Amino acid sequence: MPRTPRHRPTGQYAAADPRRAAIIDAALVLFAESGYLNSSLAKIAAEADTSATVIAHHFGSKQRLLMAVLEARDERTVRTFGRLHPDSGGDDVRALFREVLALAEYNLTQPGLIQLYTRLSAEAGDPSHPAHAYFAERYARVVHSLASALQRSIDAGQLVPHTDPEDVAREILAVSDGLQVQWAIADGRLDFVGLYRAHLERLARALTVDGGGLDGRTDAGTGPA
């Protein structure tokens, strides 16, 4: 009997090409569960209730399909969290931290993506892996985006002198990715959002000139609301 796909296309991909979207969603499921190396086009085709020939028609190869999965995820993130774009123009560091936290919460609604990134980032440590260049570019891009936003906050006088925006950006990314790995290993039982919020709260208090947390309040509760 034909399999019923576990994922259905959403967003612009469903509207533009339902078959292509279904294949991307099916590939995401299998890449997350089994890893890129252990997921064949035949398995992905069965998951999407289609054929390997149809997948080849749409994507050409498994490597290009992987890139389509990663690009689809990135495009959805950019559309949803515009403040994280390096050209967003905002300079409110607390708004930036709240946006970063919101992105973490959003990612939890798509556990397959967390599993995918956790597994792929480990596999992609091998320079020959097809996602190696993507992850190298992703880390550089995300660090640049966060550092640009932090620099605007420095220029606006919100952060303490001598704050290194790139170091802080790398810390934010490292904590997020590290907690995602632990969350995936714990089968979702880790309070990822709570721990990440606590980290960003401490970071806001340590770096801002007024010493306020994510809501702008100081320890004494006398800071701006």
Q: Higher model confidence: residue 165 or residue 28?
A: 165
Q: Which two tokens stand for residue 156?
A: 């606006």
Question: What single-letter amino acid sits at 5?
Answer: P
pLDDT in tens, 80-128: 666 555 555 568 899 999 989 998 898 888 787 788 888 888 888 899 9
Q: Which two tokens stand for residue 116?
A: 């995918």
CATH of domain 81-225: 1.10.357
Residues 54 and 59: their CA atoms lie apart, in Å, by: 9
Let me know if the fold of 1-72 is the same as that of 81-225. no
Give the right CATH number for 1-72 from 3.40.50.2000, 1.10.10.1100, 1.10.10.60, 1.25.60.10. Answer: 1.10.10.60
Per-residue exposure over 14-24, b if at least 16 CB sit within 10 Å of its own CB, e if not: eeeeeebbbbb
Domain boundaries of the chain, sorted by first residue:
1-72, 81-225
Other CB atoms within 10 A of residue 205 CB: 17
Identify the pLDDT of residue 107: 84
